[in-house]
Chains A and B, each alone.
Chain A
């Protein structure tokens, strides 16, 4: 594993290695000194072209707990917004000796470009790119589910909301399928890609029909602005058909959990009662995010950059 660009790039063994490593990282929270020396002397750059304080803080905490030097490079107020290209930014990071770059970008594929262009040699972690993927979110979701549900093999996970524009949904479907879960995505037809034949999941337009068959329900953030593009008629109608309220929650199996990648639109895709209920693991997702990101950074950055193969005799 050289970069983490797509949840689909992970084999089952690699995904489990990250999740198992994250378990060890999570125990750090119980210790007096919440710091490990694994990335001492390494530089991690948080390269955020999009505002996402939550994700940036999570990565920052993860890198710092591993003793890495952290540089936050956010596009707001920097030369990026004045037209400096991704390429020039990458060359700058290379010159600064970044060992790892955590990249959040509004354009799908931007982290992929950083990793493959040859502009820089550091490891690239995709922290969310456009409407493509957000693999560490999927890993922390899987981690959270695993803690509550045990092995995900055969578990039924339902993802509800704006799948079309959701990088969280893409990464989760790929990772959960790799881990053996049965994934169903639920959305109005307008918020699903027109052809989902390459997605390892089933689809449904009917939230109520899948509730009883869900070990976990993941609600996606739905932006009200989508109404303007006629993806759905009104927020009220969306909530009525696809929102998770206490009545729908009551239809879930007894031990099913409720998830949300945040930030939530309370009253839109999820009601406040559900978000704050005992079934909700939303706050825990945030805690687990740090452990999972520590695991990813550790596995990508702690070793030598050289290839693992023996030199020829």
Chain B
């Protein structure tokens, strides 16, 4: 196995130092490091070294929708985006609600070798919201599932949600809730507000998200388990989570890159590339989620990378699928929305996109500080680069990026997974 000496990188955006990687680990961090004779030297002057990013919310679509994404293409896209670990959502076909399916996904990830794949198990059988899936079997499987979610659908039955939270305490699991009150969002197409009324698109009210978040925080407090809120998107949700944390209630929350940057106004184009669940919200909401991410109310950024084939987006708005791809643009969007606006430092970015998501997902090989002895999962980023997003150039099998045509800062130059480069010069290694 090749050793690498990375020279002159700003470690997590701070001190300039060299990194020596050998045998899957970071061997040394410091200045003037001597490389072993067989080591390859990478000049990282001007680049920032971050711990490998961890995405707690990825749709890899396999099994079932291999026309949209596969574990192979999805993890390859993840590597290009600087990720070394992704949590694969359970809404596959068949649903990842048994040990067999989660093990299959886990194994496909290992075979692909671009990023560690942590399957998320469904909370309920078939994600139908009526009967608990075999959570323990998934936890005990080779995939060692620790995060469970019916994402795409809400576990709306309060009693069922309570039981799920209670049950996963036995193996330290977390329930990741897709907070969407179904009766309040019947047929919903976009954020409910002044614009939805004008566009004639059925509204998805903020309260449909906030009511579930509030309920689940209280339920979780009652049973003392671990609750994670997926893709929080409204100002009200930020306020609820902030108040809960202030009261000492246990909850973690994520925000997507697109909710940090884009607003509902894009729906006026009726271009379904902007159709997503939860929907793009208002400018006020965008400001609130940025602030929430900055002050730690929102723990992490997660992509909700949701690939769809062209035909599922090349149609009328109401017939189109919800979702956007985001793995390859996540870090650039966060730099643009949070770092360049001075809301986060690069050290904060490492926290929100690596340390904390790894901690929530219990991915112990990931989210470790760049120190000697840590697994060599890291990413080199050129923060000075500018790039225009071209959907046709995406590594993902799908093209449904809402950032098409936008010029965003930052470029992942290299990604290392346990000492092996998965991305060099911004391109996947294989």
Stretch of B33-41, B124-132, B152-160, B311-319 lying at the A interface: B311-319
Nearest CB of B to A83, in Å: 10
Nearest CB of A to B279, in Å: 14
Judged by a CB distance under 8 angstroms, whether B269 is at the interface is yes
User: Given A85-B314, A130-B200, A132-B200, A112 and B194 touching (CB < 8 A)?
Assistant: no
Residues of A in contact with B, size category: 20 to 34
Judged by a CB distance under 8 angstroms, whether B270 is at the interface is yes
Judged by a CB distance under 8 angstroms, whether B196 is at the interface is yes
User: Given A109-B270, A112-B270, A116-B269, A196 and B318 touching (CB < 8 A)?
Assistant: no
Judged by a CB distance under 8 angstroms, whether B203 is at the interface is yes
B318: which A residues are within 8 A, CB to CB?
106-109, 130
Tell me whether B319 and A194 are in contact (CB under 8 A): no
Known contacts A105-B316, A196-B197; can you find 9 more A-B pairs with CB under 8 A?
Answer: A109-B200, A112-B269, A113-B315, A113-B316, A129-B200, A167-B200, A194-B203, A195-B197, A198-B197
Tell me whether B314 and A87 are in contact (CB under 8 A): yes
Judged by a CB distance under 8 angstroms, whether A170 is at the interface is yes
Nearest CB of A to B274, in Å: 11
Residues of B in contact with A, size category: 20 to 34
Residues of A within 8 A of B (CB): 85-87, 105-110, 112-113, 116-117, 129-133, 164, 167, 170, 193-199
Tell me whether B316 and A110 are in contact (CB under 8 A): yes
Nearest CB of A to B150, in Å: 25
Closest residue to A109 on the B side, CB-wise?
B270
Tell me whether B197 and A108 are in contact (CB under 8 A): no
A198: which B residues are within 8 A, CB to CB?
194-195, 197-198
Tell me whether B198 and A86 are in contact (CB under 8 A): no
Closest 6 CB pairs of A and B: A193-B197, A132-B200, A109-B270, A107-B316, A108-B200, A131-B200
Judged by a CB distance under 8 angstroms, whether B199 is at the interface is yes
User: Given A105-B316, A130-B318, A194-B192, A85 and B311 touching (CB < 8 A)?
Assistant: yes
Closest residue to B189 on the A side, CB-wise?
A108
Distance, CA A195 to CA B203, complexed state (A): 11
Closest residue to A115 on the B side, CB-wise?
B270
A196: which B residues are within 8 A, CB to CB?
194, 197
Closest residue to B270 on the A side, CB-wise?
A109
User: By DSSP majority rule, is chain A's interface helix, strand, loop, or mixed?
Assistant: loop
Nearest CB of A to B209, in Å: 15
Distance, CA A116 to CA B195, complexed state (A): 20
Tell me whether A108 and B203 are in contact (CB under 8 A): no
Nearest CB of A to B207, in Å: 10
Nearest CB of B to A10, in Å: 15
Tell me whether A109 and B197 are in contact (CB under 8 A): no
Judged by a CB distance under 8 angstroms, whether B298 is at the interface is no
Tell me whether A113 and B317 are in contact (CB under 8 A): yes
Nearest CB of A to B28, in Å: 56
Judged by a CB distance under 8 angstroms, whether B68 is at the interface is no
Judged by a CB distance under 8 angstroms, whether B6 is at the interface is no
Distance, CA A180 to CA B6, complexed state (A): 69
Nearest CB of B to A36, in Å: 34
Give the one of A116, A167, A195 with max B CB within 10 A. A195
B199: which A residues are within 8 A, CB to CB?
108-109, 132
A130: which B residues are within 8 A, CB to CB?
200-201, 318
Judged by a CB distance under 8 angstroms, whether B193 is at the interface is yes
Of A86, A116, A133, which is within 8 A of B200 by CB? A133
Of B198, B202, B316, B317, which is within 8 A of A170 by CB? B198
B191-227 contact mask (Cβ, 8 Å, vs A): 1 or 0: 0111111111111010000000000000000000000
- A selection of 20 A-B contacts at a CB cut-off of 8 Å is A85-B311, A85-B314, A105-B316, A106-B318, A107-B316, A107-B317, A108-B200, A108-B317, A108-B318, A109-B200, A109-B316, A130-B318, A131-B201, A132-B201, A170-B198, A193-B196, A193-B203, A195-B193, A196-B194, A196-B197
